[in-house]
Amino acid sequence: MNGNSSSRPSRPSRPRKPAPPRRRMGPERPPVEDPARLAALDTLRAVRQRDAYANLVLPKLLRERRITGRDAALATELAYGSARAQGLLDAVIGACSDRALSDVDGLLLDALRLGAYQLLRTRIPAHAAVASTVDLVRGGQGSGAAGFVNAVLRRITQQDEAAWIDELAPDPDTDPIGHVALANAHPRWIAQAFAEALGSRDEPLREALAADDSRPEVHLAARPGEVSAEELAAMTGGEVAPYSPYGVHLESGAGDPGDLDPLREHLAVVQDEGSQLCAVALTNVPVEGSDERWLDLCAGPGGKAVMLGALAALNGGTLDAVELAPHRAELVRKATKGLPITVHVGDARETELPEGGFDRVLVDAPCTGLGALRRRPEARWRRQPSDVAPLTRLQRELLTKALKLVRPGGVVAYVVCSPHLSETVGIVADVARRTGAERLDTKEFFPGVPNLTDPHNVQLWPHLHGTDAMFCALLRRPAEG
Ligand SMILES: C[S@@+](CC[C@H](N)C(=O)[O-])C[C@H]1O[C@@H](n2cnc3c(N)ncnc32)[C@H](O)[C@@H]1O
């Protein structure tokens, strides 16, 4: 029998009343009176639940919910700030909660982090920070949960950030690295890696971690041959960068740079000034003989390929670009449209491109990214010390292959966005020793950049150069004897 009850008499048709609004199942959403905080909270949730990237989730949410202006700026500050400071916030929340953090429901932990960040690291009045967070929780998880969050946040208000650090951080006399790590919201192992790279556990380390813990400016790179840095600065309201001949700095929070006309028209890309300097340095080294065939061995998503491709075009040459991940290779193709670039998808270690066939080769190797933590809010809490060893194996193999692909007398730039010594000087010293490559005085090819002291390598730092902590070493394949 048909499930429709055909035996029922049909009812006379009546004018239909508008249906009452349908109630959602499950906990009610808060009324969206506070779109900025709700967007920040939803971002923290996506980071925790789906391993999402805050700087991909939030801009999408802001667009979908049409959040703009001051609300967008507040959402950005709260989402990225809370993600960046997570370890410090958790230490304080843990000290103020009668439950172990591992027993606190994830949704409540997100809200507590959002509230604690406002209390410890913004000028939002304490009563507003507490009340707005409690309202979000009451709307989402009910009044019992709201009571718990209220109690924890009220305890946090009893001291400011400095007092909490005094109470919770390791003793600076016996564990200076542990102390400065918590005070600047970094995991200890990362602070330790920075200390080793800086050769200091004192003021330089504190300055490096503090710079890494602040909101970065947006850097743009003008496409060589299309527009000058001065013109790009005038078009975007930015400032010409201090070191890169193509760089422009924009204030952070000035909206989505992707909406700027020069970016839409492919006259410029978003690219950290340190990355620009490393790509340009490769082209600054004199080479004898031919100089037409350049190679970018790890090209996705294509920032440096755009720079190198545009410079190759001006030089009458070409660029080959290799990328393992097909979707990232596609990004390289899109970013470099109109430039003399051939994109190859595959493992650079096994590429069939001709050995000895290139005059200049860039190895912008996959790395921990510890040098760009300020641009990736949650990354410092996600990365693990165990990530380092497999990357160093890959880095060593890629640099070794690059030194085969470059012709005798040609030059290779080894670049990583990390100051971790195992990924930087450790790789270069080892591969140079095994291959006989000549290590050049890399800083010579970073003209005008101060505070470079290593005789072979360049390590940039946010606190010294305003760039990501990029590392670059230039090597030459010996001419055949
Ligand atoms: C640090 S990123 C390169 C960034 C790029 N040069 C830019 O400026 O936009 C490293 C890239 O190497 C790619 N990769 C990883 N292993 C690779 C391999 N064995 N061969 C080629 N590319 C690889 C990654 O997918 C990633 O896109």
- What CATH number is given to the structural domain containing 374? 3.40.50.150
> What is the distance in A from the centroid of ligand 1 to the CA of 401?
14
Alpha-carbon gap, residue 90 to 109, rounded angstroms: 9
- Give the residue, out of 270, 294, 323, 331, with the most ligand 1 atoms within 8 A of its beta carbon, to mutate for a pocket test: 323
pTM: 0.91
- Give the residue, out of 219, 273, 298, with the most ligand 1 atoms within 8 A of its beta carbon, to mutate for a pocket test: 298
Domain match, 224 and 294 both: no
Structure tokens belonging to residue 388: 């380092």
Domain match, 194 and 136 both: no
Domain match, 82 and 150 both: yes
One pLDDT digit (tens) per residue for the chain, 481 residues: 333 333 333 333 333 333 433 333 334 444 458 999 999 999 999 999 999 999 999 999 999 999 999 999 999 999 999 999 999 999 999 999 999 999 999 999 999 999 999 999 999 999 999 999 999 999 889 999 999 999 999 999 999 999 999 999 999 999 999 999 999 999 999 999 999 999 999 999 999 999 999 989 999 999 999 999 999 999 999 999 999 999 999 987 667 788 899 999 999 999 999 999 999 999 999 999 999 999 999 999 999 999 999 999 999 999 999 999 999 999 999 999 999 999 999 999 999 999 999 999 999 999 999 999 999 999 999 999 999 999 999 999 999 999 999 999 999 999 999 999 999 999 999 999 999 999 999 999 999 999 999 999 999 999 999 999 999 999 999 997 5
Domain match, 363 and 279 both: yes
Does the residue 20 lie in any domain?
A: no
Domain match, 243 and 376 both: no
Task: Kindly name the residue from 96, 367, 417, 472 that is annotated as catalytic.
Answer: 417
Domain match, 265 and 319 both: no
Q: Is 369 exposed, middle or buried (0-12, 13-18, 19+ CB in 10 A)?
A: buried
- Residue stretches of the annotated binding site: 298-304, 323, 347, 364
- Give the residue, out of 297, 308, 324, with the most ligand 1 atoms within 8 A of its beta carbon, to mutate for a pocket test: 324
130-138 contact pairs (CB < 8 A, 24+): 130/154, 130/157, 132/34, 132/37, 133/37, 135/30, 135/33, 135/34, 136/30, 136/34, 136/37, 136/38, 136/41, 136/111, 137/108, 137/111, 138/30
For ligand 1, atom 17, which residue shows the shortest CA distance? 324
Find how far residue 310's CA is from the centre of its chain.
25
> What is the distance in A from the centroid of ligand 1 to the CA of 215?
26
Domain match, 369 and 412 both: yes
**What is the CB neighbour count within 10 angstroms for residue 392?**
21
Domain match, 278 and 237 both: no
> What is the distance in A from the centroid of ligand 1 to the CA of 303?
11
Four-residue CA torsion sign, 199, 204, 209, 214: negative
Domain match, 155 and 282 both: no
328 Cα nearest atom in ligand 1: 27
Does the residue 11 lie in any domain?
A: no
At residue 333, the 3 state secondary structure works out as helix
Cβ burial 73-92 (10 Å sphere, 16+ → b, else e)? bbbbbbbbbbbbbbebbbbb
- Residue 96 is a catalytic residue: no
Does the residue 68 lie in any domain?
A: yes
Domain match, 121 and 235 both: no
Tokens 């080769």, residue?
361
For ligand 1, atom 23, which residue shows the shortest CA distance? 324
Domain match, 364 and 344 both: yes
- Domain membership of residue 258 as a residue range: 218-270
| ipTM attached to this prediction | 0.99
Query: Is-contact 260 227, C-beta < 8 A?
Result: no
> What is the distance in A from the centroid of ligand 1 to the CA of 313?
22
- Residue stretches of the annotated binding site for S-adenosyl-L-methionine: 298-304, 323, 347, 364
Does the residue 3 lie in any domain?
A: no
Q: What is the DSSP letter of 320?
A: E
Does the residue 7 lie in any domain?
A: no
For ligand 1, atom 19, which residue shows the shortest CA distance? 347
In the chain, the number of structural domains is 4
Residues having CB within 6 Å of any atom of ligand 1: 275, 298-304, 322-325, 328, 347-349, 364, 366
Domain match, 226 and 332 both: no
Structure tokens belonging to residue 405: 């692909």
